Amino acid sequence: MQPLSKITDELLLGRALSMSEAQELLSIDLHELMYHASRLRRHFKGDTVNLCSVINAKSGRCSEDCVFCAQSGHYNTQCAEYPLVDTDKLKTALENALRCGARCFGIVTSGRQLSPDESRLLCGFINKDGQKQITIAASLGEIDLQAMRALKKSGLKKFHHNLETAENFFSNICTTHSFADRVATIRLAKEAGLEVCCGGILGLGETWQHRIEFADTLRSLDVDSVPLNFLTPIAGTPLEHLKKLNPLEILRIIALFRFMMPDKDISVCGGREANLGEMQSWIFHAGANGMMIGGYLTTGGRETEKDIQMLRDLELNH
Ligand code: SF4
């Protein structure tokens, strides 16, 4: 393999990392890898960090059996269950996101599909309250093209739908829908003219080969932003006893994704605090240029002020 500095120079000029080079990144000294991942992040994304905030707008009772998820109706978890929240709650969450300095506000609902009435309520909210200095994103499961277009017309900018993991590992984490179903939804969002936010969750028992394959699929789908979540095992789910990833492995994963998709937005979302602990600030050296703040769908985060102070200390903007 060529020296990593030379490969990075070429990626800065726009060529893509090959699959064999991706493989070789796995054995490179982590500090060297992070140094060059950081070069890529700074070149393509500068020193501004994208902050996003989400509301769990409809929680629990999901028909799907994703093994990591507290909201699946297949498992006995302590997850809150409630139907779609009203527009006042959405508005309050949006105002909070703005106050925290988030650039993107994500409305997330559990379940495979949204009903037409639920979809209409969200369109009304986005149309009336969503036209502020913030990007509105939505994660609403499998939406058809007509509903995607209606959401776009109402002012939705970005559709979020994770692939979750590699195609060759997907049957280990979900049996009630397929990887192809997820890809089809992403393609529909692109067809509707929406930006696409699509990533997944790491630490499900997948191998490094699966991670490379997963990143390669995201690259080929040309998604706009890639949220990376790291498993926080949830009591009652099949993965409740799975060992968490160690922080250095997480940093190598982030760097791998930066090398695979040098010019994309890569954010660290669920599991940041629980898995990285004192090493959270290292995510930016590993190549991330965004993070979720203010808590996650079914698990809490840390105080936003601590995250903002971390960025100040790193002299990163948001
Ligand atoms: S990840 Fe989404 S689709 Fe899967 S069980 Fe959880 S809420 Fe349902």
* Residue 30 neighbours by CB under 8 Å, 6+ apart: 248, 251, 252, 255
80-112: burial string, b at 16+ Cβ within 10 Å, e else: eeeebbebeebeebbeebeebbbbbbbbbbbbe
Report, as an integer, the average pLDDT of 290-313. 83
Closest ligand 1 atom to 62 CA:
8
Could you tell me which of 268, 260, 292, 288 has the C-alpha nearest to residue 137? 292
8 A C-beta contact, residue 21 and residue 7:
yes
How remote is the CA of residue 179 from the centroid of ligand 1, in Å? Answer: 13
Could you tell me which of 77, 134, 137, 68 has the C-alpha nearest to residue 101? 134
Widest pairwise Cα distance in the chain? 56
**pLDDT the model gives residue 127:** 85
How remote is the CA of residue 299 from the centroid of ligand 1, in Å? Answer: 14
Instruction: Read off the pLDDT band of 14 (50, 70, 90).
Output: very high
8 A C-beta contact, residue 179 and residue 170:
yes
Report, as an integer, the average pLDDT of 131-159. 90
Neighbours of 127 (CB within 10 A): 15
Q: Tens digits of per-residue pLDDT, 70-88? A: 999 999 998 889 999 998 9
**pLDDT the model gives residue 60:** 87
8 A C-beta contact, residue 199 and residue 227:
yes
Neighbours of 123 (CB within 10 A): 20
CATH 1.10.260.40 fits 35-309, yes or no: no
**pLDDT the model gives residue 129:** 75
**pLDDT the model gives residue 298:** 65
Is residue 197 scored above 70 in pLDDT?
yes
- Report the phi/psi class of residue 246: left, alpha or beta, with left for phi > 0 and alpha for psi in -120 to 50: beta
Q: Whose CA is nearest to atom 5 of ligand 1?
A: 72
Is residue 133 scored above 80 in pLDDT?
no
What angle do the packed helices 247-260 and 30-45 form, to 10 degrees? 50
Strand partners, 58: 109
- Highest-scoring range by mean pLDDT, 141-155, 242-256, 301-315: 242-256
User: Which of 27-41, 105-119, 154-168, 248-262 shows the lowest mean pLDDT across its residues?
Assistant: 105-119
The answer, yes or no, to whether any atom of ligand 1 lies below 6 A from the CB of 67, is no
What's the pTM value of the predicted model, to 2 decimals? Answer: 0.94
**pLDDT the model gives residue 113:** 85
Is residue 296 scored above 80 in pLDDT?
no
Q: Tens digits of per-residue pLDDT, 202-248? A: 999 999 999 999 999 999 999 999 999 999 999 999 999 999 999 99
Closest ligand 1 atom to 65 CA:
5
Is residue 96 scored above 90 in pLDDT?
no
Query: How long, in residues, is the chain?
Result: 318
Is residue 131 scored above 80 in pLDDT?
no
**Residue 26 one-letter amino acid:** L
Report, as an integer, the average pLDDT of 280-306. 86
267 sits in which H/E element: strand 265-268
Q: Whose CA is nearest to atom 7 of ligand 1?
A: 110
**pLDDT the model gives residue 99:** 86
Strand partners, 105: 53, 136
DSSP secondary structure code for residue 294 in this structure: S
* Residue 78 neighbours by CB under 8 Å, 6+ apart: 70, 235, 236
Is residue 183 scored above 80 in pLDDT?
yes
pLDDT higher at 19 or 304: 19
**pLDDT the model gives residue 299:** 65
pLDDT higher at 143 or 17: 17
Closest ligand 1 atom to 74 CA:
5
8 A C-beta contact, residue 195 and residue 201:
no
The answer, yes or no, to whether any atom of ligand 1 lies below 6 A from the CB of 66, is yes
Percent of residues, the chain, with pLDDT higher than 90: 76
**pLDDT the model gives residue 300:** 66
8 A C-beta contact, residue 91 and residue 131:
no
